[in-house]
Structure 1
Amino acid sequence: MKLLILDRDGTLNRSRDDHVASADEWEALPGALEAVARLNQGGWRVVLATNQSGIGRGLFDMASLNAIHAKMHRQLAVAGARVDAVFFCPHAPEDGCHCRKPEPGLFEQVGSRYGIPLSTVPVAGNALRHVQAGTAAGCPSHLLLTGQSEHLRDFQGGVPEAGIKGMDASIMVHLDLPAFADWLLSQPEAVAVT
């Protein structure tokens, strides 16, 4: 099985400073749904791992989160794409849980559910905490220059010469989800999870 873990806000859909709190506020990034479709067609199963502290902070409830994901799944289906599962952390930052990224708990849940070694599961997201969590879980990690990392596009070659503070040098950087999909689909089959 070829399995891939993506972040949600800022990777698949536009992020907001005040949280995506309703289905009306969920808006796919250009080309992101089509990128998931291409990954699916290439044999990749895609799951999401996302911090949703708005629940723990009382900004929205589970019914709202379910409505957001229902809209997301509908739009993915229209694009010929699918996300197999959504793993989320509902806790506020002060809760100190193991599942809130940059902790690796969500990724460990994915590995346990699918019975797959995380060293074979690439992760991609726009937030440093997503790639830090992936690295902590032993996943090959990829930073996308969208959402929280979009400001890094201003640097020659996509990242500052001195690197990104707090980011492991082994983390690969891509312009966005479509560019990451292009890269992943161009890799020899031996690189993929079998």
Structure 2
Amino acid sequence: MGGTGTLKAVLFDRDGTLVVDVPYNGDPRRVRAMNHARAAVELVRRAGLATGVASNQSGVARGLLSLDQVYAVNRRVDQLFGSFDVWEVCPHRQEDNCGCRKPAPGMIVNACRRIGVEPGEAAYVGDIGADVEAAKAAGSRHVLVPTAATRVEEVDDAEFVARDLWHAVNLLLGRVPAQGGRP
């Protein structure tokens, strides 16, 4: 991926990427950072890049949690990591066919607009194929960090795959060579 070059921002998925995925979590006390995640975000900030989060939260549309609960969890994430420059949340279900729910590019495009960068100057890091597809659709770089929830075909379809968030950030910053495919 080679150096920061035109890279001005790194956006992250929340659940399964920054924090341990607790399905439909509305309780800030249940938020736990993924291994190496805090150090990885700090590395991005030290490189002078903006940071943001774009997260599907369909539990809102399903009536499983409220937007206030989502925002409370997001505040806890900010407490753990330091404040992100931008947050984008999609509260819709897949059936709603909105333009923001990943794999649609809306949240990435909106986050970039809000922090004043072009989508091509941003990268998105996530743990499932919808994250990769959203980044591609927005015209952003991407890195997939697989978890137990990631399907084999999603790994196979991703251009860049990292073993953890620390590795993903180092790929984006050009500190380790990009090999594509499996970590």
Is the partner of 2:125 in helix, strand or coil?
strand
Q: Determine whether 1:70 maps to 2:70.
A: no
> Among residues 172, 179, 183, which one is paired with 2:167 in the alignment?
179
What is the CA RMSD across the aligned residues, in angstroms? 2.1
1:145: how far off? 1.8
Q: Determine whether 1:11 maps to 2:12.
A: no
Count the aligned residue pairs.
170
1:62: how far off? 1.8
Output aligned runs, 1:33-182, within 5 Å: 33-77=38-82, 82-146=83-147, 148-149=149-150, 164=153, 168=157, 171-182=159-170
Aligned to 1:160: none
Q: Structure 1 pair 23/8, CA: closer, same or farther in 2 (3 Å)?
A: same
TM-score (norm 2): 0.84
Q: Structure 1 pair 36/147, CA: closer, same or farther in 2 (3 Å)?
A: farther
Unaligned runs of 5+ in 2: 1-6, 177-183
CA distance in 1, matches of 2:154, 2:122: 24
1:166: how far off? 9.0
Aligned to 1:26: 31
1:27: how far off? 1.3
1:123: how far off? 1.1
Is the partner of 1:67 in helix, strand or coil?
helix
**Amino acid of the residue matched to residue 41 of structure 2?**
V
**Amino acid of the residue matched to residue 183 of structure 1?**
L
Structure having the higher Rg:
1
CA contact (8 A) 1:146 1:175 kept: no
CA distance in 2, matches of 1:122, 1:147: 23
Unaligned runs of 5+ in 1: 153-163, 189-194
Is the partner of 1:186 in helix, strand or coil?
coil
1:102: how far off? 0.5
**Amino acid of the residue matched to residue 69 of structure 1?**
N
If each structure's helix is expressed as a fraction of its own residues, which one has the higher value?
A: 1
Q: Structure 1 pair 147/11, CA: closer, same or farther in 2 (3 Å)?
A: farther
CA distance in 1, matches of 2:115, 2:80: 25
Is the partner of 2:169 in helix, strand or coil?
helix
Is the partner of 1:148 in helix, strand or coil?
coil
